[in-house]
């Protein structure tokens, strides 16, 4: 069977994966805190028709190897962790991280912890700070953000993540409670688990460990918490539609390779009538 046919099949598979990623990016163009993905390709092992011949002094020169490639495969599907644009909501519990880091949420105190850039938080009936799925927000130093006292009628959140209550006289009263931010060495190593959440892996942080620290800390390199804003998706529609055209044409070109290879095989079969 012709090698070109299998090369064409591998190319179609690769561009199908690229279209899948592009489709997911476009679908999440308005998802809060979403990070776009991209597909990278690599060539498959080449088949050597002849080896390399070294030059012989005073006799003849060297000869390069003759190799035929066997197609393409997906080398990586990366998550691009560039910041998304800011959307002003003026809702005090809508938070955006200006810089590096992730919010940390957990289903229960002491349960598995997840990371997110989506800061659309709210207070539940128990006056606990939760995300849209009811997961508790983790405070700096570990543990969830404690329940807010019933006497607190109004509060703000500073850039360092501290919850500052406002008393009846309008005076700011620091609570000493800080919303935690987790710094990740390799954000690309995080695993998406859905719901705008990421799971820490050993390739994201050494040993897969996770620690919630204070925001807006220049020593730790954590970003500032901006209240009243949300980070939108970093999907660039112009780039996505351009890549869609490239993927579509690449898919069509590889299908043409298969069609041409099939016509050649048909010609060979028809040599003897």
pLDDT at 77: 94
pLDDT at 273: 65
Q: Dihedral angle at the C-alpha atoms of 53, 58, 59, 63, nearest 10 degrees?
A: 30
In DSSP terms, which residues pair with 138 in a beta bridge? 144
Tokens representing 260?
A: 């041409």
Average pLDDT score over residue span 21-41: 95
**Confidence category of residue 53, pLDDT binned at 50, 70, 90:** confident
How much of the chain, in percent, has pLDDT values that exceed 70? 99
Tokens representing 268?
A: 């060979």
| Helix segments in the chain, DSSP class H | 3-27, 237-269
Instruction: Identify the weakest region by mean pLDDT among 65-69, 78-82, 183-187.
Output: 65-69
pTM (global) more than 0.75: yes
**Confidence category of residue 223, pLDDT binned at 50, 70, 90:** very high
**pLDDT of 106 above 70:** yes
Check residues 174 and 24 and name the one with the higher pLDDT: 24
Provide the residue ranges of all domains of the chain, joining segments of one domain with +.
3-81+235-269, 86-231
* φ/ψ of residue 255, rounded to 5: -65, -30
Average pLDDT score over residue span 231-258: 94
User: If you write DSSP's letter for every residue of 156-223 in order, what string do you get?
Assistant: EE-TT-EEEEE-TTS-EEEEEEEB-EE--S-GGG-EEEETTEEE--TTTSGGG---EE-SS-TTTTPP
pLDDT at 1: 58
**Confidence category of residue 30, pLDDT binned at 50, 70, 90:** very high
Nearest-5° Cα angle at 78, 72 to 83: 150
């Amino acid at each position: 069977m012709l090698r070109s046919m299998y090369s064409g099949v591998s190319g179609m598979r690769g561009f199908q994966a690229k279209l899948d990623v592009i489709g997911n990016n476009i679908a999440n163009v308005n998802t809060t805190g979403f990070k776009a993905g991209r597909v990278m390709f690599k060539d498959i092992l080449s088949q050597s028709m002849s080896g390399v011949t070294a030059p012989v002094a005073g006799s003849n020169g060297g000869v390069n190897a003759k190799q035929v490639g066997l197609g393409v495969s997906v080398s990586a599907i990366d998550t691009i962790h560039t910041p998304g644009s800011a959307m002003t909501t003026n809702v005090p519990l809508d938070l955006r991280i200006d810089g590096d880091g992730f919010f940390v949420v957990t289903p229960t105190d002491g349960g598995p912890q997840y990371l997110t850039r989506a800061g659309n938080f709210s207070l539940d009936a128990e006056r606990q700070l939760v995300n849209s799925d009811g997961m508790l927000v983790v405070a700096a130093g570990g543990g969830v953000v404690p329940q807010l006292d019933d006497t607190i009628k109004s509060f703000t959140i500073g850039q360092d993540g501290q919850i500052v209550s406002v008393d009846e006289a309008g005076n700011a009263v620091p609570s000493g409670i800080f919303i935690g931010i987790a710094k990740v060495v390799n954000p690309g190593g995080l695993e998406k688990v859905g719901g705008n959440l990421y799971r820490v892996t050993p390739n994201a942080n050494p040993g897969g460990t996770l620690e919630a620290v204070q925001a807006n800390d220049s020593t730790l390199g954590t970003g500032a918490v901006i209240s009243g804003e949300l980070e939108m998706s970093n999907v660039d529609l112009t780039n996505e539609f351009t890549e869609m055209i490239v993927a579509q044409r690449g898919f069509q070109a590889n299908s043409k390779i298969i069609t041409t290879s099939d016509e050649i095989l048909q010609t060979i079969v028809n040599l003897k009538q």
